Chain A
Amino acid sequence: MTLRFEDLAEGVELPGTSRLVTREDVAAYAEASGDRNPLHLDDAVGRAAGFPGVIAHGMYTMGTLASWLVGLVGDPAALARLRVAFRAPVFPGDELECGGTVRSLDAGTRTAVLDVWARVERPDGTEWPIRKSEAVVRFG
């Protein structure tokens, strides 16, 4: 489903997406991004840092969020700006959900400012790896 500027209004919730995080994808991301910090590859290092094991890169989650936005609008040039705060770790086995709502629209420039987030629901509660974050999307 390709989102159009005409589909948006302030407060509208965007159709989100969800993806299972795997250890293999995190390792593939380490390789593809050049960030081979052992925190993302070696469970012992993850545990030494206080986590159950390896954690995904913050940029892995941000990349997933950016891809979701670009796919939503159907145009790789659409993403003008993305600013995120990394609030909580993401672990292999997490179901990583991306979503957002429209904060404001500018009809003159056909741009939308979106509040975006990444969320993980776990048995012991909901965590927000990315929160209070914003995207600016420009439509053709």
Chain B
Amino acid sequence: MSGDLDGRRYPPVPFVLDEGRVRAFARAIGHSSDGVPPTIVTVPEIEAGLANVVADPELGIDLSGVLHSEQEYEWHRALSAGETLTAEARIEGIRARGGMRFVTLRTELRDEAGGLVAEGRTTLIVREAG
């Protein structure tokens, strides 16, 4: 069963890096230097990936059982306030081990020209309920 869902893609999600959002995010993490905080890509990544995964009836994943184990980003350029990114997530792999599932998601973030701006890889540990 674990292999069947590998590669499943979720619908792309747009995200506007509007100034207010960028400022609020920067303030929350104490980002005081110029430019857009790079990890703001987590916002569309969550919408495109984790949110879809938790809502996916075939996965049966409950948010309360999810732990964020690892996270990786690669940025190909600096982000610009005001630009629109589109995030598209896919399941890279789901493996069951010791009563837990290890779920890896890959997300690509592209700009309006279709250029690859950033990529993310999220590893979640899902503890089964009951």
Contact = CB atoms under 8 A, between A and B. Distances in A.
B92 to A, nearest CB: 14
B24 A35 contact: no
Contact of A76 (B38, B46, B68): B38
Given A58-B68, A66-B37, A86-B68, A32 B25 contact: yes
A81 B35 contact: no
A5 interface: no
Nearest to B24: A32
Contacts of B8: none
Given A32-B24, A76-B78, A84-B72, A67 B46 contact: no
Contacts of B71: 58-59, 62, 83-84, 86
A1 B125 CA distance: 38
B98 interface: no
A28 B72 CA distance: 23
B69 A86 contact: yes
B28 A60 contact: yes
Contact of A67 (B29, B43, B68): B29
B33 to A, nearest CB: 4
Contacts of B42: 33, 35, 59, 63
Interface of A: 19, 25, 28-29, 31-35, 37, 39, 49, 57-60, 62-64, 66-67, 70-71, 74-77, 79-86
Interface of B: 21, 24-39, 42-43, 46-47, 63-64, 67-75, 77-79
23 contacts: A19-B30, A28-B24, A28-B27, A28-B28, A32-B25, A32-B28, A33-B28, A35-B42, A37-B63, A60-B29, A62-B39, A63-B28, A63-B39, A64-B29, A67-B39, A71-B31, A71-B32, A76-B37, A82-B73, A83-B70, A83-B71, A83-B73, A86-B70
